[in-house]
Amino acid sequence: MIEGLVFGWRTAVLTVAAAVILPIAVGLWTSFYGRTAARTMALLLLVLVGVFTPWLIGFAGAYDKWRWLTFLPVANPLWAPPLLYLYAHALTRGRWPVRGWRHLIPGGVQFTWQAVSFALPLSLKNAWADLSLPVTGPVFTLALTISFLVYGLATIRLLKAYRHALAQQRSDDARFALRWLNRAMVAAAVLAGLWTVYGLWDAIAPLGYRGLMGLYAGLAAITVYLAIESWRQTRVAYPTLEALTTVAPSPASPARDWGAQGRAWADTIRREGWAAEPELSLTTLAAKLGTNTGYLSRAINEGLGVNFSTFVNDLRSEAVAKQMDQGATASVLTLALEAGFSSKASFNRAFRNRFGKTPQAYRAGAARSPQVSDRE
């Protein structure tokens, strides 16, 4: 116990969160796989811990004991939105965008203002705080709101393009869909809204440390979630967007019935059982069929009216349904894994999409839907 400091439950909550996050950030920085994305997330985690650090020490009374801590340059939230975007970019493209460091300039301006203010003599610092904070507080809050909006939309567009490319090239696209990042972004959007409201409210009628505890506890919780989930992603080798969007062009040829070609290839795949390969890709399947990715893609997209992921997962769902029709007694999960699905969640979504009902309902004797091979 340090004299003059009080370590209450508020400080304890934020300290526990920091104790969870910081070791993961160190682990991400030294990660071997997906190094650019992992290091970007490590920086983001450090920024977010820095944002709630003034409250962590403030609840303990550090600012009352050591007045010179005013303007301590650790809380720089303007770095958070671009770092989240850069993380998603590095995860899906394997790198930052060209001159990606420019996205960090606004946060650098905020840090520089804090650092210069922090270096002032104490007598000047107090006067400068009274003069500048009523102005800079709302300005930085508005800038943060705009940043959340701009980079949030940019990240959503990037993830949408990535998922579309995955569905055209991979049958195991659910493994790389980054749904956890969507959940984190929804939570961050809610937090950003609250942050804006709290920030404007605090600028008009200061709430004090206790009044802002809910906001910073929420920030700490989201940061812990980001840390844990991003650490799990270091085990996954994400295909890059460039690799996914590289499809061989279809050579010029006489008009073909792509629907008939797609159904013929579907029959071959059923007969050979190729859909049971969990990591089946457009390139791999084209090689097995003795064609190129351009022809196969046209037969599936134009001929059958579905993307590659839906095509393969429909075939897998049919294989499970056939096993159920024949009275298989194995569990639904076992049948799904044997058919090539990588998880129960992805199987349930695909089966419902194919048959319009859950696997359990189908097994109970519900009427069976038409087969993929009957699609026009």
What is the chain's pLDDT, residue by residue, as a tens digit (376 residues)?
A: 566 678 888 899 999 999 999 999 999 999 877 899 999 999 999 999 999 999 899 888 888 888 889 999 999 999 999 999 999 999 999 999 999 999 999 999 999 999 999 999 988 998 898 899 888 888 988 898 899 999 999 999 999 999 999 999 999 888 888 888 888 888 877 777 777 777 667 667 666 666 778 788 888 999 999 999 999 888 888 888 888 887 656 555 567 889 999 999 999 999 999 999 999 999 999 999 999 998 999 999 999 999 999 999 999 999 999 999 888 888 999 999 999 998 888 999 999 999 999 999 998 874 444 444 343 3
Q: Can you tell me whether residue 307 is helix, strand or coil?
A: coil
Q: What pLDDT does residue 252 have?
A: 57
Kindly give, in sequence order, each residue whose CB lies less than 8 Å from that of residue 289, ignoring residues fewer than 6 positions away.
265, 268, 269, 296
Contact 42, 86 (CB under 8 A): no
β-partners of residue 170 are: 281
Is the separation of the CB atoms in 110 and 51 below 8 Å? no
* pLDDT of the residue at 372: 42
Report the CATH number of the 9-243 domain. 1.20.1070
3-state secondary structure of 170: strand
Number of other residues whose CB lies within 10 A of the CB of residue 35: 15
Among left, alpha and beta (phi > 0; psi -120 to 50; other), residue 273 is: left
Residues 82 and 28: beta-carbon distance below 8 Å: no
Euclidean distance between CA atoms 20 and 12, whole angstroms: 12
Query: What values do phi and psi take at 281, rounded to 5?
Result: -120, 165
* Residue with token string 């929804």: 186
- Token pair of 181 as six digits: 């990042």
- Give the DSSP H/E element, type plus range, for residue 211: helix 208-211
Helix H or strand E segment including 11: helix 9-29
| pLDDT for res 25 | 96
Evaluate whether 195 touches 3 at the Cβ level (below 8 Å): no
The answer to whether the CB of 53 falls within 8 A of the CB of 75 is yes
**Which residue do the tokens 């992805």 mark?**
346
pLDDT, residue 199, reads 67
Cα torsion 222, 224, 227, 229 to 10°: value is: -70
Local structure of residue 240 (DSSP, 8 states) = P
Of 64, 72, 55, whose CA–CA distance to 214 is shortest? 55
| DSSP 8-state class, residue 300 | I
**What CATH code is assigned to 247-374?**
1.10.10.60
Structural domain spans, the chain: 9-243, 247-374
Find tokens 């969007």 and name the residue. Answer: 245
Cα-Cα-Cα-Cα dihedral of 290, 293, 299, 302, to 10°?
-170
Backbone angles phi, psi at 251, to 5 degrees: -60, 150
**Residue 102 corresponds to which tokens in the numbers above?**
């420019």
350 touches 317 (CB < 8 A) = yes
- What is the model's pTM? 0.84
pLDDT at res. 67:
86
249 class by beta-carbon count within 10 Å (0-12 exposed, 13-18 middle, 19+ buried): exposed
- For the chain, what is the radius of gyration of the CA atoms? 27
Q: Which residue has the tokens 């939105």?
A: 81
Locus of tokens 């899906």: 92
Dist. CA 88–CA 111, nearest whole Å: 24
How many Å apart are CA 207 and CA 209, to the nearest integer?
7
